[in-house]
Amino acid sequence: MLRKDSASTLAAMLRSVAVLVLPELAVFEFGVLCEVFGLDRSDDGLPVLDFKVCGIEAGRPIATTGGVDVVPRYGLDGLRGADLVAVPATRMREFPEEVLQALRDAEAAGAMLLTVCSGVFVLAAAGLLDGRKVTAHWHSVDELRARYPTVQVDPDVLYVDDGNLVTSAGTAAGIDACLHLVRRELGSTVVNGIARRMVVPPQREGGQRQFIDRPVPECSADSLGPVLDWMLTHLDVEHTVADLARRAAMSERTFARRFVSEAGTTPLRWLTRQRVLHARRLLEDTDLSVDAVADRCGFGSATLLRHHFRKDVGVAPADYRRTFRSEDLTAL
């Protein structure tokens, strides 16, 4: 769903990001934040964010779980004025009051908050999650509930968007949450550019389960890759499970099971999501009519496009275009 406030102030919502690093820092989760928000991709025409890595004290090394130290250039004062304050995973569970107060001050000043994996414990300790819906790595859910019973924990999803607060599960789910936030604040063109450079999908549904407890059929690990690529380049044609299974050289039952175990959803739902994503790009970057967009995306009719688009995005295609239309096209 689109936030009402992000639609009207899209261009100004995300200009600066401050990452808070604490001892026993998880290297991968920290790296995700650096990769998504901290790299200069201006050569691809993407915006460059004011990016700061902040610790309790500037220049004091922070020990990580990976056997290396991270030296933040900024202290807690670096959180002030940031549009987004992000907290990567840490094994710490008790935090200095000055850290917690700095987070409270940032939130009170209007900063959005983002956590990756166990970074959620830091915000919970600061009292910023009371009564709010969040998620965390499935391994930490029971501990989070026991420590902070007023926090509403959803144990299954990849990430939760609760307005000015986005929380994510472990490891790769942090990538999904970061890209979701970029899409929400800066639009699909920016997130697609970042995802392309990272060689990751531009969006997975936040409601997808963290893990799928199903037996995985015996077939090569990359057996679905060519089929998914083919589907993405042929969104405008009809696809049946039987046709896709033949293309993957599997039985229909094996293909359907494999697809759910790998993609976390059924082939039809995955295809519908990709068609909606393509429709979003066309609505942003072209002046095609809604009927033409529906045809190019494989929906067949504007009515069907509107149904799936509103269900997935929360607004009608025409309303979405008015909000996110490319500046170059708006000027025409």
pLDDT at 71 over 80: yes
Which has more confidence, 200 or 271? 271
Q: How far apart are CA 203 and CA 191, in angstroms?
A: 9
Q: How far apart are CA 121 and CA 115, in angstroms?
A: 9
Quick check: 52 and 117 in contact, CB under 8 A?
no
The residue type at 233:
T
pLDDT for 90-123, tens place per residue?
A: 999 999 999 999 999 999 999 999 999 999 999 9
| Burial class, 218, CB count within 10 angstroms (exposed 0-12 / middle 13-18 / buried 19+) | exposed
Structure-block tokens of residue 179: 């890209």
pLDDT at residue 260, as a whole number = 85
CA triplet 9, 13, 14: central angle to 5 degrees? 155
pLDDT at 216 over 60: no
pLDDT at residue 156, as a whole number = 80
The most confident of the ranges 191-205, 256-270, 272-286 is 272-286
The most confident of the ranges 72-81, 147-156, 318-327 is 72-81
pLDDT for 8-54, tens place per residue?
A: 333 347 999 999 999 999 999 999 999 999 999 999 999 999 999 99
| Per-residue confidence band for 200, with pLDDT thresholds at 50, 70 and 90 | confident
Residue whose C-alpha is closest to residue 219's, from 264, 271, 265, 262: 262
pLDDT at 259 over 80: yes
pLDDT at residue 209, as a whole number = 47
Name the CA dihedral angle for 151, 156, 158, 163, rounded to a multiple of 10 degrees: -40
- Give all strands of the β-sheet with 50-54 in edge-to-edge order: 50-54, 16-20, 84-87, 112-116, 165-168, 159-161
What value does the mean pLDDT of the chain take? 86
Q: How far apart are CA 82 and CA 138, in angstroms?
A: 30
Residue whose C-alpha is closest to residue 224's, from 170, 180, 261, 187: 261
pLDDT at residue 153, as a whole number = 95
pLDDT at residue 322, as a whole number = 81
Q: Strand locations in the chain, DSSP E?
A: 16-20, 50-54, 62-63, 69-70, 84-87, 112-116, 133-134, 152-153, 159-161, 165-168
pLDDT at residue 225, as a whole number = 78
pLDDT at 206 over 50: yes
pTM: 0.63
Quick check: 273 and 309 in contact, CB under 8 A?
no
pLDDT for 149-161, tens place per residue?
A: 999 999 888 899 9
Which has more confidence, 68 or 322? 68
Q: How far apart are CA 279 and CA 293, in angstroms?
A: 6
pLDDT at 233 over 60: yes
